[in-house]
A and B are shown apart, each in its own frame.
Chain A
Amino acid sequence: MRIALLSDVHANLEALVACLEHARSLGVGQRVYLGDLVGYGADPGPVIDIVAEGIGRGDVAVLGNHDLAVARRISYRMNIDAQLVVEWTRAHLQEWQLALLGGLPLVCEQGGRLYVHANAWAPEKWEYVLTEFDAGRSIRASPWGLTFCGHVHTPSLYHMASDDRVAAFEPVPGIDIPLGPQRRWLAIPGSVGQPRDGNPAACYALFDDATRQLTYFRVPYDHSVPARKIAAAGLPQTFDTRLVTGN
């Protein structure tokens, strides 16, 4: 089965729909949301509707720090602008949507894989995996050989050999990468709704659990639409320009 890994959607409906459509054309069987469905963007409600419907059919979602802040009024080291969006988002969600967000698990283990938003060593502390050192820490903390996480918005792949050495790899979109079973892997698909690597195209990845091949994708979409919605909602301007520049 092919599994779509979607992270950091951040209430960007157009980017999510583009990725889901792309994945559907490639015969995806399950969608895994790696946290931060909301925050920054102006469509939290419609995004949660899509995810909720998917969960009913076997999709999986884990909790992100923005989801937590919105649902349970707990913020963790957020800047003023992000805090503003949290308040706005909460005001625009229905009770059941807030309950769904708040009820998401911190981690999910399925089929020999670990799904978590930030890292495997302390998921509730939201520390980022930015280096080989962090990646090694996360890989060692995971009970499984394959860990998928988000939080970091740039697509990356780390691997650890039997001697504990960790190496990083910058994935090339569209290339199938075999994740050999004789080493441990940590994959970050990149952000669906708010890429920050200078390329505004949405990021996601597909994993085939039969062949163990992981493929990263960049999906172009009309990012001016969510950018206009952010401006129209009166949300901080930095978040709409970010969508256009991809930074």
Chain B
Amino acid sequence: MAEPRAPGGVIDGFRLEEKIHQGNMAEIWRVTRPDVSTPLVMKIPAFRDSSDPAALVGFEVEQMILPTLSGLHVPRFFAAGDWSIQTHIVMELIAGPSLRARLDDAPLDPGELASIGSRVAAALHDIHVQHVIHLDVKPSNVMFRASGEAVLIDFGLSRHDQLPDLLAEQFPLPMGTGPYISPEQIWGVRNDPRSDLFALGVLLYHLLTGERPFGNPTSLRGLRRRLYRDPIPPRALNPACPPWLQEVILRCLEIEPSRRWDTAAHLAFELQHPEQVSLGVRAQRMRRDGPWTVARRRFRSVGEPNLRQSAAGQVARGPIILVAIDLASGSQPLSDALRLTARRVAQTEPGARLACVTVLRTPRVAIDANAEAEGSVRMDLLVKLKHWSRPLGTDIGRITHHVLEAPDAAAAILEFARSNHVDQIVIGSRGSSSLRRYLGSVSSEVVAQALCTVTVVKTPARESESAEPSPP
């Protein structure tokens, strides 16, 4: 029999302090344990309505998946209770209201919305890389740390692609939350990480326009409308929405997962670099598709779900590759060698994208800054960068260009790689030039500090050239 649940009660060594939430599925208590300084919560399933198996299985799923996740974007797991006594999950308390509180503020400013969107996308990318698809992304399941990172909570409908799906075959109705559920989830597909991008698109649309793109259907028939009926373009509802943001959101809301962003990291990238979003017909749209288009879509099936897919596998097919080029002091042969390597690396995966980066060194202490002159140097570098990448254009689907301004090139490259979820850095090394001895090596700094794979490119040297006299 369960212990009495009242403030002061103790379950598995955790002292119940106060009940902070009572929901239909679970109650949440703030708890403490003398040896743990992290603020904690204990989630206890509400079995009052024990006829609902979803509540029980969802709890089982969360107990299985949460311990496998780590990092800033999930609450840290501490303990799980025994099912035969009192089952529960103890995890880190994430303070503050969820994103749901912001729905009342809609429509949000596009800049703020992009910041929220890119942080949630970064959190999704982090769990996708860890083989988990959330499958219930909605404002009430998104929290933020004081440092700004988004934290995803409630993994009761989630899927870990290397563990049994405890919800498979379990329920005849689609699992998810009406307004946010993706078209493929309506068909019972639970292995596509892009389902989370659809839900994030719904969330962003709602915060941007104050309206839900597909309403709040409660029947299966109502849910199925999103399989053929496109939403009203956000710009028609909120004139402050820039075309690039509409492009980003409508691409999240595509019916076919393959027409959405390839990965959450790609989506985060677009939201962080609005000027680099390539605008298509989605950006220009001001009204919904006409009846004929909708009717055609209605008769077309969504196609066979891809059952062999894995979350991390889908993510791996869309790597972000950063190529760092030194346009100021780099040599022509090295620049050619870099382009060759960048092409080889980016061509191995169809969803790869290449971010071409160069650094404009700025003085550490600003002395008599001439903004206009700096702007023209920056523009000049951007033109050169685009010129450098032009030969790659037809081979690689998506190329972006970035001039970073910083006193320290290595630090700037590393920061760009971290904040844009870069999977691989391609960088040139000046080899054994005398310049390197004076300036230090940017590439070796990047190799030492990077959190991802780094490929160092050298200028192919003929044997007769390779022997450089050693310094006296």
Q: Which residues of A contact B (CB under 8 A)?
A: 132, 157, 159, 161-163, 165-167, 169, 172, 175, 177-178, 180-183
Contacts and interface: CB of A to CB of B under 8 A. Distances in A.
A227 to B, nearest CB: 31
Contacts of A132: 169
B60 A172 contact: no
B162 A182 contact: no
Given A163-B53, A165-B170, A182-B83, A172 B64 contact: no
B164 interface: yes
Chain B interface main SS type: loop
A159 to B, nearest CB: 6
Contact of B56 (A165, A166, A182): A182
Interface residues of B, number: 16
Given A180-B64, A181-B84, A166 B169 contact: yes
Interface in B111-163: 162-163
A163 B163 CA distance: 20
Nearest to B161: A172
A175 B53 CA distance: 27
B170 to A, nearest CB: 6
Interface string B10-27: 000000000000000000
B165 interface: yes
A177 B83 contact: no
B60 A180 contact: yes
A175 B64 contact: no
Contacts, number: 43
A233 B56 CA distance: 57
B450 interface: no
B57 interface: yes
B168 interface: yes
B263 interface: no
Given A181-B84, A182-B60, A182-B83, A165 B164 contact: no
> Which 10 pairs across A and B sit closest by C-beta, in order of nearness?
A169-B164, A167-B168, A172-B162, A175-B162, A167-B169, A182-B83, A165-B169, A181-B83, A180-B60, A178-B64
A157 B164 contact: yes
Q: Counting chain A CB atoms within 10 Å of each CB, which of B64, B83, B168 scores highest?
A: B168
A67 B13 CA distance: 51
B166 interface: yes
B329 to A, nearest CB: 47
Contact of B164 (A162, A167, A182): A167
B63 interface: yes
A159 B166 contact: yes
Contact of A167 (B53, B63, B162, B165): B165
B53 A162 contact: yes
B169 A159 contact: no
A199 to B, nearest CB: 16
Contacts of B170: 161, 163, 165, 167
A182 B62 CA distance: 13
Contacts of A181: 83-84
A180 B165 CA distance: 12
B162 A180 contact: no
